Structures are given as structure tokens and as C-alpha cells.
């Protein structure tokens, strides 16, 4: 996947910071240890000069093998003495060695000229972070979701009271988040404005992110705008939004049906929804539209994919946001 220079630089800056912090911490540990054991610093200097001595022995041509054997034996003696001082201080033998976050590339991002998996992970996380930058994730958790705004009386005879229905929806979402995996089903959250669809989808996102999954959340309109800009815009843009939408572990499309409809946008949305179903990656869609309204708004093949493959969660009650505003004004 191609990433912009800005995303690449941000990921590399994080790796560089990790490496520098570890090297600084190591330098401080060595300085403190050498105050107690000055001999240890002398040993380190002698060991560091071994490579130069070995090169001179080889270049001299005179009994190089013998000289190298002597150097090897001397190094082993010095290392044994060094480790003995560490044990005397009650420290592990690797105490004065660097402990990089990624042992494979030592936080450089590359192994033999090839990008390390740690840098690939950071690039993806940074791309996710930028796409999710405007999302109020920290404000939306299951703990902050209140059922007090949903009526306890059914809206019609024989119907289910909104509070009862929303208790079921909340429980389903909590269980879904708790057991979230790449094999979790896709969801469609349907209901009017202000009934908690965005809140619960973001609460699921929070839980998934805590488990280490890559999550992208966005209004369908904003994501559609990004796709159009990358496809038709003249200015260079960051990354590949379409690829990120297809590859992330969990995609949340908020407010499906509010985006400005064009042939390109409709085709792009279908491609994302259909491809993720084919590769069995979970998607959560929230919409104010009923199934009938979805069928009028989109092609039959898109709505049939959603109706046939998504688990439906029906939200009901009265606009919670409006109720909260009225309470503040009272």
C-alpha cells in the first residue's frame, strides 16, 4: 500500500524517537554502573578495539590465525569478568545492552534494506489515526450510554417498549464488542436521528481498538469525499483511502444515505461493502433509512447484499440529543 510522505515521516519519527530514548536510557545506566565499577568501562573500551586488532592481524599476514585465537580468548576472559561484575551488582547479564521495541530491526524500520513489519504497522496506524482524527471516540463508551431517555411504554398496542428494545440492542453491542474478532458479523444499525447509533458504533470501535484491531470510522459523506478527491482531484493527496477501507479490521460507515449521490460514489460504496463481505471483514453501517428507503436510494444489488448478509439492529424511541438540549434549556 502506498502512503504519503507525511504519513511515512510521522511513522519514522516515532521509530527514531523510540530508538533514541532507548539509547539515552542505556547511556544513563552505563554511566551509573561505571561509577561503581570503573573497571567495567575499561573492559568495554578494550572489547571495542578488538575489531581493529583483528583487522591488523589479518593484514599483517604473519600467523593471523594464531593472533585471532589469542584475541578470541582474551575477549572471552574480558566478557566473563564483565558479567561477573554485573552479577555482583545483582543485575542480569544483558542489563547494559540495548532493548529495542522491535528486536528484528532495532527500531530502524528496515532489515537488509527491506521494510520491517513494525514500520508497516506504524504506517497503517498513522493512516488510521488521520482518518479518525475528527471522531469523538473518547466520549463514546458503553458506560456513557444511558437508557433513561427511552420511553418505557410501547408506541403502539402489542409493540415493544423502546427502553426494552434498546436494552436488547445495548446488550447485543456489548457482547459483540467483548467477543469482537475478524470473523464477527457485519451490522446495520437502523433508526431515526439521535437514537444512539453513532454512540454505540463508536463504543464498539473503542473496545476493538483496545484489543489491537485496526478500526476506521467515518461518515459516509466524508469517506466518499476522500475517495472522489483521490480519484479526480488535481492536487496530490495522502495515502489510499479505498485500500484502507478495504483492509482495515473493522470499518464503520456512519450515516449511510446522507452522502451526495453520484455514479462514482454509489459504485465506490458498493465496492467497499461487497469486497469486505467477500473477504469476510466486518463492517458496521448506521443509517436513518428503512430497508424500503435503502432500496429506493441504492441499487438492488447493494441493498440485497446488506439485507442478506448484515445483522440488523433496530433503534427506536425519541431523539435523545433533542431531549438533552431541552433539559439544558429548562
Q: Is residue 179 domain-shared with residue 317, that is, in the same domain?
A: yes
Q: Is residue 319 domain-shared with residue 195, that is, in the same domain?
A: yes
Domain finish residue from 68, 93, 118: 118
Q: Is residue 189 domain-shared with residue 240, that is, in the same domain?
A: yes
* DSSP codes of every residue in 113-141: TEE-HHHHHHHHHHHHHHHTTT--GGG--
- CATH code of residue 298: 3.40.50.300
Q: Is residue 166 domain-shared with residue 268, that is, in the same domain?
A: yes
Q: Is residue 186 domain-shared with residue 276, that is, in the same domain?
A: yes
d(CA 221, CA 217): 12
C-alpha cell at 301: 444489488
Q: Is residue 138 domain-shared with residue 83, that is, in the same domain?
A: no
Helix (H, G, I), strand (E, B) or coil at 189: strand
pLDDT string in tens for the chain (330-residue length): 456 677 788 999 999 999 999 999 999 999 999 999 999 999 888 888 877 777 676 676 666 777 778 878 888 898 899 999 999 999 998 999 999 999 999 999 999 999 999 998 888 788 777 756 666 666 688 999 999 989 988 877 668 899 999 999 999 999 999 999 999 999 999 999 999 999 999 999 888 887 878 888 888 988 888 888 877 765 444 557 888 888 889 999 999 999 988 889 899 999 999 999 999 999 999 999 999 999 999 988 899 999 999 999 999 988 887 877 777 665
Q: Is residue 189 domain-shared with residue 313, that is, in the same domain?
A: yes
Residue written as grid cell 533514541? 20
d(CA 280, CA 272): 12
Residue 93's domain comprises: 5-118
Q: Is residue 159 domain-shared with residue 276, that is, in the same domain?
A: yes
Which pLDDT does position 88 carry in this prediction? 92
Residue environment code for 187-212, b if the CB has 16+ CB neighbours within 10 A, otherwise e: bbbbbeebbbbbbbbbbbbbbbbeee
Note whether residue 124 is domain-resident: no
Which pLDDT does position 304 carry in this prediction? 92
Kindly report whether the global pTM for this prediction surpasses the value 0.85: no
Residue written as grid cell 547494559? 96
d(CA 317, CA 170): 14
Q: Is residue 201 domain-shared with residue 80, that is, in the same domain?
A: no
Q: At what angle do helices 38-48 and 50-60 cross, to 10 degrees?
A: 30
Which pLDDT does position 236 carry in this prediction? 45
Note whether residue 155 is domain-resident: yes
Domain finish residue from 83, 118, 153: 118
Q: Is residue 236 domain-shared with residue 297, that is, in the same domain?
A: yes
**Alpha-carbon distances of 242 from 135, 232, 321, 328, rounded to whole Å:** 19, 13, 32, 41
Q: Is residue 243 domain-shared with residue 303, that is, in the same domain?
A: yes
CA torsion angle for 248, 250, 251, 255 (degrees, to 10)? Answer: -170
Q: Which residues are CB-neighbours of 254 under 8 A, at least 6 positions away? A: 197, 198, 201, 217, 218, 219, 220, 286
Number of residues assigned to the chain: 330
Q: Is residue 191 domain-shared with residue 90, that is, in the same domain?
A: no
d(CA 199, CA 141): 7
Domain finish residue from 118, 151, 176: 118
Task: Identify each DSSP E strand in 3-155 by its residue range.
Answer: 110-111, 114-115
Task: Give the helix/strand (H/E) hosting 261.
Answer: none
Which pLDDT does position 260 carry in this prediction? 87
Note whether residue 324 is domain-resident: yes
d(CA 296, CA 314): 19
Amino acid at each position: 500500500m502506498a502512503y504519503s510522505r507525511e504519513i511515512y515521516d510521522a511513522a519514522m519519527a516515532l521509530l527514531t524517537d523510540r530508538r533514541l530514548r532507548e539509547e539515552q536510557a542505556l547511556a544513563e545506566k552505563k554511566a551509573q554502573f561505571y561509577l561503581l565499577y570503573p573497571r567495567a568501562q575499561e573492559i568495554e573500551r578494550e572489547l571495542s578495539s578488538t575489531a581493529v586488532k583483528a583487522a591488523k592481524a589479518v593484514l599483517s599476514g604473519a600467523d593471523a590465525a594464531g593472533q585471532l585465537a589469542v584475541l578470541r580468548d582474551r575477549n572471552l576472559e574480558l566478557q566473563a569478568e564483565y558479567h561477573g561484575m554485573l552479577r555482583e551488582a545483582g543485575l542480569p547479564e544483558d542489563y547494559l545492552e540495548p532493548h529495542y521495541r522491535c528486536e528484528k530491526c532495532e527500531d530502524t524500520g528496515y532489515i537488509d534494506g527491506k521494510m520491517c513489519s513494525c514500520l508497516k504497522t506504524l504506517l497503517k496506524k498513522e493512516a488510521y489515526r488521520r482518518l479518525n482524527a475528527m471522531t469523538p471516540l473518547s466520549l463514546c463508551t458503553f458506560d456513557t450510554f444511558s437508557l433513561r431517555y427511552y420511553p418505557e411504554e410501547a408506541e403502539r398496542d402489542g409493540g415493544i417498549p423502546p427502553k426494552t428494545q434498546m436494552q436488547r440492542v445495548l446488550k447485543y453491542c456489548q457482547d459483540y464488542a467483548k467477543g469482537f474478532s475478524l470473523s464477527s458479523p457485519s451490522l446495520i444499525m437502523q433508526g431515526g436521528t439521535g437514537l444512539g447509533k453513532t454512540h454505540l458504533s463508536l463504543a464498539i470501535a473503542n473496545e476493538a481498538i483496545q484489543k489491537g484491531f485496526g478500526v476506521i470510522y467515518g461518515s459516509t459523506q466524508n469517506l466518499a469525499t476522500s475517495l472522489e478527491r483521490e480519484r479526480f482531484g488535481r492536487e496530490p493527496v495522502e495515502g489510499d483511502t479505498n485500500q484502507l477501507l478495504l483492509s482495515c479490521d473493522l470499518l464503520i460507515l456512519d450515516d449511510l444515505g446522507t452522502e451526495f449521490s453520484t455514479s462514482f460514489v454509489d459504485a465506490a460504496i458498493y465496492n467497499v461493502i461487497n469486497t469486505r463481505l467477500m473477504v469476510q471483514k466486518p463492517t458496521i453501517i448506521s443509517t436513518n433509512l428503512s430497508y424500503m428507503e435503502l432500496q429506493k436510494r441504492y441499487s438492488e444489488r447493494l441493498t440485497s447484499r446488506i439485507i442478506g448478509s448484515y445483522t440488523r439492529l433496530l433503534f427506536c424511541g425519541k431523539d435523545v440529543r433533542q431531549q438533552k438540549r431541552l433539559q439544558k434549556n429548562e
